[in-house]
Each structure stands twice: as structure tokens, then as C-alpha cells.
Copies of this chain bind each other. A is one copy, B any other.
Amino acid sequence: MCAGARSKRGRSCVGGATRGKRVPRAVREQQMLDAAVRAFARSGYQHASMDDIAELAGVSKPLVYLYLRSKEELFAACIRREVAALVAAVRAAVERGAPADRQLWSGLSGFFAHTAAHPDGWTLLHVQARTHGRPFAREVAAMREELVTFVTQLLAAAARDNAARDQLARADVSAIAHALVGAAESLADWAGDQGGPSAQEAAATLMDFAWAGLGNVLRGEGWSCEAVSHQAAYDG
């Protein structure tokens, strides 16, 4: 593979890309996106040059421009593809119709499994996209909001079954959802390092940790800085 490549720096093409062959557009585009996601994730948006990406994709630079117009649009296309893939993975993992906690757990499992399986994609979304200009950050923020909304709905569903539902302000639920998503992201990063937990472990830990806290809040029994109620947490 990568037969005709005369890579200046000896790098080979990504995936099964073979240089010089006539290949349908759709396939070439995916090759380019593969290369770009990898390059952007590993080198950063600025440091990854169009030359690098073209070479990694096994095509000439003008072809990249022909298909993807500009570096910004290429980056945007990468983000869109990875966002779609992550959302799809989470959606597919969620067990619809199951109780809220089970849905949350399955969604988290899917999330951790996907980020672990696609580290470059996760880095692209979590690290690179936020750093380079509003439009990209917005795209990721939109996805994040989608996830937060999904979590919020699950929390609301749980609350619906609960006697204390009225005491639950919408803002509280949102805040908890944000905290939960942030915790998940943090664990996903940590899981990416060596020494971190597996996807299953991460999901389990987070559920252990979060669900009780949620119940607590729903019952209106939150920890209070005024009270000495912190005793409640570890007293039997």
C-alpha cells in the first residue's frame, strides 16, 4: 500500500490509502478526513500543515483544496464527522425504554467506549476544537449541549418519579448535568492516559458516585455549608 508515495519525510499514508490511483470522491474524502483528524489531533490545528495532511492522505495538495475548499472547512468537516460519530455511538448505546439510571449508565458506557476507541477523534473535539476560533468551539459546544440536554432529561425523568420533584429547580438539574458531563470528560481524558481505568470501570465509578448524589439532591437533602450536616454523608 501507499505504493507511489515519495514522502519527503518517509511517512507512510494513513489507512489503506494508495497514492496516485483513481479513487471515487467519497472514498478520497474519507481518506483525507482520516489523515486530517490524525494530524490535527496530534500536531494541533496550526502545526498540522496542509502539506502534511495531503501527504498523510496520500494525495496532492490541490486535491485536498478541490474537495474541501480550505483548511478551516477541512477542520470543520473533521469536527462534524467526529461529533456525529460520538453522538451516534452514545445514541446507539443507550437502552431506550429502560429506567433512567440504566439509560444513563448505558450512555456513559457507550461514551467511554467510543472515546477510548477513537482517541484522535476525542482529542480533536475535547482539546483542539475549543482552542481555535469561535465557529469550531460552537460546533463542539452544540454537541455538548445536546449531551447535557439528554442527561438533563434523564435526571428530570428520575425526578418525575420522585416525591420531592417540586423542590428541584431547573437550574439545579442543569448544573448537575454540566457537572456530570464534565466529570465524564475528565474520566475520558484520564482513561486515555496509560494507568487510567477502562471504559467499564469509568462508567461504573461515575454511576456509583453520581447517582447517589443525584438522589440526595432530589430528596432535598443536600450538604449544607451552614449545617454540620456533613456528618450525614458518612454516618450510617
Contacts and interface: CB of A to CB of B under 8 A. Distances in A.
A232 B214 CA distance: 11
Given A102-B230, A128-B131, A133-B44, A186 B182 contact: yes
A110 to B, nearest CB: 13
Interface string A181-217: 1111111011000000100011011111111111111
Contacts of A158: 233-234
Contact of A216 (B130, B190, B213): B213
Given A105-B225, A186-B183, A187-B175, A236 B205 contact: no
A187 B179 contact: yes
Interface residues of A, number: 64
A102 to B, nearest CB: 7
Nearest to A214: B233
Nearest to A236: B163
A80 interface: no
Contacts of A46: 45-46, 132
Contacts of A233: 101, 158, 211-212, 214-215, 218
Residue among A47, A158, A161, A205 with max Cβ neighbours from chain B (10 Å): A205
28 contacts: A44-B133, A46-B132, A101-B230, A101-B233, A127-B131, A130-B131, A131-B132, A171-B201, A175-B197, A175-B201, A175-B206, A176-B209, A179-B186, A182-B182, A182-B186, A207-B223, A209-B210, A209-B217, A211-B216, A212-B212, A212-B217, A212-B233, A213-B214, A214-B234, A215-B232, A215-B234, A218-B234, A219-B236
Given A175-B201, A182-B184, A208-B223, 4 more contacts: A182-B185, A182-B189, A211-B213, A219-B236
Closest 5 CB pairs of A and B: A182-B186, A212-B216, A208-B222, A213-B213, A101-B230
